[in-house]
Structure 1
Amino acid sequence: MEKKFKRTLITTALPYANGPVHIGHLAGVYVPADIYARYLRLRGEDVVMVGGSDEHGVPITLRARKEGITPQEVVDRYHTIIKDSLEELGVSFDIYSRTTSKLHHETASEFFRHLYDKGEFTVQTALQPYDEKSGEFLADRYVVGTCPRCHNENAYGDQCEACGSSLNVTDLINPRSALTGEPVKMRETTHWYLPLDKWEPKLREWILEGHKEWKTNVYGQCKSWLDAGLQPRAVSRDLKWGVPVPVEGAEGKVLYVWFDAPIGYISNTKELLPDTWEKYWKDPESRIINFIGKDNIVFHCIVFPSML
């Protein structure tokens, strides 16, 4: 017999504040979540639906540079457009917030610091592309060069959009900075990693044995990742836009957007229910249901549970 829960927390994948929402967002996440939340409310159940904009990461900085404005101006524009669109469509969020809020920065910092103090992270040093003229490390999308496969001269450090090939920065011929046009140098940098491999046995049991009711594509993608063997994932980036890494010696580093964004579900709940939010996250009589897109599967089903 299915367990009866006292309360339900519904989360919806955070739309990226780099453009407006489209029909795929609505059909895949927000309309189904809204139908389910309304259904539970009509049954008289205790249900809360939280959402918000995902406002950090490299694509936002790229758009800001292209338009000659700040990243904050970019996210302010699109957060407003997205929030207004969802309200006009009648999606019944109990709260729709954002990851640039002061409360979110505090919550994400506390989350990282808690894991850091427990010794849950590993530290790795690796070579990353560096622009000596601008004096900063470059994300993959800030590096362009000649594709080794099709010879497109403007391939990115992660992908060639001409032929569709997935690339690493070191694959590019004559890599250069998209910021200054200067040749890219490789320089050592240190980052913190979440050891997903440590949690693989627990995840394997929790997902493969405990959640056979998940949709076939969700279950299948998780199984393929587990069968391939989980690897540590970086939780920090050399970037100026984001939640600063809250430890000494981490100047110029921010929390990687995939680490910071799902914590938005927690900070949104705290913002809505400052005195009772923990009941929805920690009480065994509560359940959390995530409505997500297909590109969110790994983060919600493997990475975020490992963080929690």
Structure 2
Amino acid sequence: MSFFKKKMLVTCALPYSNGSIHLGHLLEHIQADIWVRYNRMIGHEVWFICADDAHGTAVMLKSKKQNILPEELIFKIYKEHKYDFSNFQISHDNYYSTHSKENYNLVQKIYNLLDSDGYIKECNVSQLYDDKEKIFLPDRFVKGFCPSCESEDQYGDHCEVCGAVYSAIDLVNPLSVLSNSVPIVRTSVHLFFNLPFFSDFLEKW
């Protein structure tokens, strides 16, 4: 039987730049590393890449709590993550950061191409807003009673007691975990990639 050499790109979920590597990160990266090493041993060409996810509310809030610039936190955590992965001898070909000039330029290029072809859509989205902190609250930054089973102290996306999935604005008696205040509902414009447009192509592919 002839051997067909494959060229493969492998990655893992990107760790956030707001904290240390934890057991879940290591489990995933070690498992991926084993699979990558095996495929290299049998002759495949494998590129193993990953990066810190340096953008989002969690990073902004953590840097604010530490009274440093977000860029300082991103750089500090990046060095720590690289050190930890290297100590476990994980064989990334490149471990990088989403906060890079290359990523910025590529994202701008991809977005502008999609937007010029009409694949970016604007929609109004209702979200919980912390009027004290002046910030829209991601699901993990709001808690309340589950709208399904009424269990208390549940996050804004799902209930860990009954397994219900819901929107944060459906929580009963929601509270912001940032200020412990009652959030209000506000509407803002969000941008979406028009994935349904490609349904036929994706199903055939």
TM-score relative to the length of structure 2: 0.77
Aligned match of 1:141: 140
Task: Please identify, of 112-121 and 62-71, the stretch whose mean Cα deviation from structure 2 is larger.
Answer: 62-71
Query: What is the one-letter code of the residue matched to 1:111?
Result: I
Aligned match of 1:106: 105
Higher helix proportion, which one?
1
Structure 1 residues 163 and 124: alpha-carbon distance in aligned structure 2, compared to 1, 3 A threshold: same
Larger relative contact order, structure 1 or 2 (CA cutoff 8 Å, min sep 6): 1
Query: What is the one-letter code of the residue matched to 1:141?
Result: R
Of the candidates 28, 31, 34, which is equivalent to residue 31 of structure 2? 28
Query: What is the one-letter code of the residue matched to 2:33?
Result: Y
Question: Structure 1, residues 261-289: CA drift from partner, whole Å, max 9, x if none?
Answer: xxxxxxxxxxxxxxxxxxxxxxxxxxxxx
Q: How many residues align?
A: 200
8 Å CA contact 2:12–2:29 kept in 1: the answer is no
8 Å CA contact 2:133–2:179 kept in 1: the answer is yes
For residue 85 of structure 1, report the CA deviation from its aligned partner: 2.9
Q: Secondary structure at the match of 2:123?
A: strand
Query: What is the one-letter code of the residue matched to 2:9?
Result: I
**1:220-299 matches, cutoff 5 A:** none
The separation in 2 between residues aligned to 1:178 and 1:24, in whole angstroms, is 29
For residue 189 of structure 1, report the CA deviation from its aligned partner: 0.9
- The answer as to 2:185 corresponding to 1:186 is yes
For residue 190 of structure 1, report the CA deviation from its aligned partner: 0.9
Aligned-residue sequence identity (percent) comes to 25
- RMSD value over aligned CA atoms? 3.1
8 Å CA contact 2:51–2:96 kept in 1: the answer is yes
Runs of 5+ unmatched residues, structure 2: none
Runs of 5+ unmatched residues, structure 1: 207-308
Aligned match of 1:168: 167
Structure 1 residues 134 and 90: alpha-carbon distance in aligned structure 2, compared to 1, 3 A threshold: closer
TM-score relative to the length of structure 1: 0.55
The separation in 1 between residues aligned to 2:96 and 2:121, in whole angstroms, is 32
